Amino acid sequence: MAPFPTIGIISKRGDASAAQTLHRLVKLLIRQAPGNGVQSILVSDDSDIDLTATGALNGVDIVPRDQLAQRASMAIVVGGDGTLLSAARSLVNYEVPILGINHGRLGFLVEVGPDEITSAIGAVFNGQYYIAERFVLSAEIRHADGSLTPPALAINDVVLRNRASIRMIEYETWLSRDPQRPMGAQWEFISRHRADGLIISTPTGSTAYALSGGGPVLHPGLSAVALVPICPHTLTDRPIAVPASRAIRIVQCGDGEHDAHVTCDGQVNFELAHDDAVELHRALHPLRLLHPAGYSYFRLLRDKLLWGRAPESTPSPSGNGS
């Protein structure tokens, strides 16, 4: 049996260039499907696609994203990292491997360029790929009365900020003592902080907001979470990495005058009142990223962060280049 009999596609909406790439991708898959065991192609109904333009009126099903997640054996995401993060949260519980085609800016997660689609798809169909697993955070709000919000998934990070962006907030950080019972164990106090907020980052998200906040780059193979204070009032309040096997608890404290805002991947939002807590633990299912053969995480860092490269030449103030 072919490894990916059902291929699902999710594309960035409202982007003409991404729509063109989506149409090219569908045509390519239809041409190559018969010889590679692909039995069905699904496109999310929130993608911009004109089936008449693809010539695929009978070759593609347009389905809701939740149905795509349940049926797909592989997903292809066309867009930027934000598109992939949104798609991944709907796919991760089904452990669907994801291949990203970049129509964004940096593209840490969507690594295949639009001009590399044919070669990348060919490599996948020829078995020249591997699947890397990245752990995901599950976050929920425990209100002061003990009630819990439904859990939300975060691929990159969970961010705690003051709703009044120019004011600091005060919060405590705690770590569970028992890795076997992360949410039912006693909590060990880490510290009390005054800062503009806090970034709780997975290794996947360590090259995103956490990096801008002075946090470390965490290799995807690490089972660790970075806690990165945002503009801390005390300069010695530095980022710290803790085991991903332990749960994390963030409690808003202080004078109680300012409520906080909690965001998962910059896309899912919660309000946090005084004495509410954010509780996070490693989610049951990992994100599965499909990489064509030859992928290198360190080469990706060099390419995206311009490590080890000479600066581009710039004209002198006089404009004569001397």
Asked if pLDDT for residue 89 goes beyond 90, the answer is yes
Domains of the chain, residue spans: 6-134+286-305, 137-282
pLDDT for the residue numbered 15: 87
For 6-134+286-305, CATH gives: 3.40.50.10330
CB 41 within 8 A of CB 101: no
CA–centroid distance for 282 within its chain: 14
First and final C-alpha spacing in the chain: 65
Asked if pLDDT for residue 322 goes beyond 50, the answer is no
* Pair of tokens at residue 201: 């980052």
| Residue 88 Cα distances to 9, 96, 101, angstroms | 12, 9, 14
Rounded to 5°, the CA angle 11-17-21 comes to 60
- The 10s digit of each residue's pLDDT in 126-159 is 999 999 999 999 999 998 888 899 999 999 999 9
How many residues are there in the chain?
322
Residues serving a catalytic function are 81
pLDDT for the residue numbered 317: 57
Distance CA 225, CA 281 (A): 10
- The 10s digit of each residue's pLDDT in 211-227 is 999 999 999 999 999 99
**Torsions phi, psi for 146 (to 5 deg):** 95, -10
Mean pLDDT of 175-179: 82
Query: Model confidence at 51, in pLDDT bands (50, 70, 90)?
Result: confident
Distance CA 74, CA 55 (A): 22
**Torsions phi, psi for 144 (to 5 deg):** -60, -25
Average pLDDT score, the chain? 88
Asked if pLDDT for residue 14 goes beyond 50, the answer is yes
- The 10s digit of each residue's pLDDT in 114-135 is 999 999 999 999 999 999 999 9
Asked if pLDDT for residue 183 goes beyond 90, the answer is no
Mean pLDDT of 243-247: 95
**Domain 137-282 architecture:** Sandwich (2.60)
Q: Is 270 helix (H, G, I), strand (E, B) or coil?
A: strand
pLDDT for the residue numbered 1: 45
Q: pTM here?
A: 0.89
